[in-house]
Amino acid sequence: MTNLNKGSLVCVGTGMRMGGQLTPIARSYIESFDVVVAAIPHIFTRKWVMDVSKEYICLNSYYEDMKIDGKNRRDTYRRMADTILSEMRSGKRVCAAFYGHPGIFACISHMAIADARAEGYDAHMEPGISALDCLVADLGIDPGSYGMQSMESTQFMIYQRMIDPTTLLVLWQPGIAGELALKVLETNEEYLQVLVNKLALTYPLDHEVILYEAATDPLEKTRIDKIRLGDLPQAKLRQITTLVIPPAKTLERDQAIIDQINAITASLTKLRAAA
């Protein structure tokens, strides 16, 4: 049962390029709610949110927790979620703001909303423009043309995943690939070689891949670097870099299924003609 007389929570995204990608409803929540709790890396976006909000709580410094022995990113994210929930429990209308989409690679918002709802509070998420939306626009890629697979780089490395080489493969966060301790926000050449070795089971080493980084302000240039898969370990990667792997094989028709569909179509056509 919802606690109608207590606080509430909404999680919003500021988009990747705040000036034109902040949705009207997200802006409304940021400006009108009692407090904005945010983890926004871009300084200009952060400054704007601070200026227009009634009260602002910045979560960026929480990443320093990873320097403490025994703590990692999961602990940091949990502390961020708990800060959001604490403000909500005090009776405030809380707007939690994240860059991009608040639900894509943003476990904090999912944790906070789940906990808030479990305690009976009104909590929901508003969609935002994500790095994937920018990627599709900047690279001119339509996932509907041949399908798309999307996963985090380290997750792909350490789990047995089935990769379809006829689809687009998007690997997020290769810049921290293989970092299992969750203590640092970088990778190294050795970890990246492990990633390449696993990808080489599906793709040739000379297959062209794309290193993509969405621009975050009008003066910044979108990164679209095309390299050989085999050269990935020597490439310059950042936390925001995304690895885009175009299809390596063409789609093959499943004639048995096509025949079944054609047979059904012929049968329905006969029924309609007889009706």
The single residue of 17, 29, 46, 99 carrying the catalytic annotation is: 99
CB 176 within 8 A of CB 195: no
DSSP string across 42-100: -HHHHHHHHHHSSSEEE-GGGGGGGGSTT--HHHHHHHHHHHHHHHHHTT-EEEEEESB
Cβ contacts of 125 within 8 Å, gap of 6 or more: 10, 11, 12, 102, 103, 109, 113
Terminal CA-CA length for the chain: 53
Q: Is 17 a catalytic residue?
A: no
Residue 176: C-alpha distances to residues 202, 224, 236 (Å): 22, 19, 12
For residue 19, give the amino acid letter. G
Encoded tokens for 44: 């200009």
Q: Is 191 a catalytic residue?
A: no
The single residue of 77, 191, 203, 212 carrying the catalytic annotation is: 77
CB 123 within 8 A of CB 29: no
Q: Is 29 a catalytic residue?
A: no
The single residue of 17, 29, 46, 73 carrying the catalytic annotation is: 73
**Exposure pattern of 28-43 as b/e (b: 16+ CB <10 Å)?**
ebbeebbbbbbbbebe
Catalytic sites, residue numbers: 73, 77, 99
